[in-house]
Amino acid sequence: MFNSNTYRYIPDFFVLFISLFLSLMINNNKNISLLLLFIIITLISIIFYKKQFIGRYLSKCIIVIISLFILIYGMNYNNYYVNNYGVAFFMFINIFILLEVCRPFKTNYDYITLIGIILMLITFNFSKWKVKNMKLIDADHKWIYLKTIALTILYAFSTCPLDGRRLKLLLVLYGPLLFPLNEYVIHRSILFGVGFLYSFCYDNPYFF
């Protein structure tokens, strides 16, 4: 009933459940969010020391790291610039940078992905990404669903993701939809950040 390919996905689902639990708890507990920040800083320090984030994924890694720092800060302290501009800016840059990360576009699915990225960029409404304690004041449901569809095609079929990471990316993509969409920024950032770090730590036998 189960083969070796089935068992190799067990750690991915385990990390997903841990990440979902962290996302659930972090909303109401400042101490957990600060602990998470400490863990992320530790992992990032080790990763950069071991030079795991290289090549075309370096810029994506930097955006993820900065976004996590802003997330933890914004959940604990309300800042005018973070609430009104910070989240929108990094959300837009996070999509824009896919044009660099995913090139060259070679297959039909790559070009469909390119169209999806462009659609996400031109329909992005900066005024819809204002937050308070990292919760969206007026969540853009249509854009979030558009992003989910576009990234599903990108993660599942295009040549952009590294081999062996497609399922991880899809789990992280759909995980935030289990929560209210006004909390999308929190859960997407936590799941993507933890998943991003786990992907490089677990898959690389020379990490430690």
Q: Please, which pLDDT band fits residue 205 given cuts at 50, 70 and 90?
A: very low
32 vs 180 pLDDT, higher one? 180
pLDDT at 203: 52
pLDDT at 100: 87
Q: Where are the domains of the chain?
A: 4-203
For residue range 6-25, what is the model confidence (pLDDT) as tens digits?
455 566 666 677 777 777 77
- Write phi, then psi, for 121 (nearest 5 degrees): -70, -45
Answer whether residue 115 shows pLDDT above 80.
yes
Across the range 177-195, mean pLDDT stands at: 87
Closest CA to 91 of 132, 121, 61, 57: 121
Cα–Cα distance measured from residue 82 to residue 132, given in angstroms and rounded to the nearest whole number? 9
42 vs 131 pLDDT, higher one? 131
Q: Please, which pLDDT band fits residue 193 given cuts at 50, 70 and 90?
A: confident
Answer whether residue 185 shows pLDDT above 80.
yes
Please report, rounded to a whole number, the percentage of residues in the chain having pLDDT higher than 70. 75
pLDDT at 47: 67
Answer whether residue 87 shows pLDDT above 90.
yes
For residue range 43-65, what is the model confidence (pLDDT) as tens digits?
766 766 665 555 566 777 778 77
For residue range 147-182, what is the model confidence (pLDDT) as tens digits?
999 999 999 999 888 666 788 788 889 989 989 999
Q: Please, which pLDDT band fits residue 66 given cuts at 50, 70 and 90?
A: confident
Answer whether residue 4 shows pLDDT above 90.
no
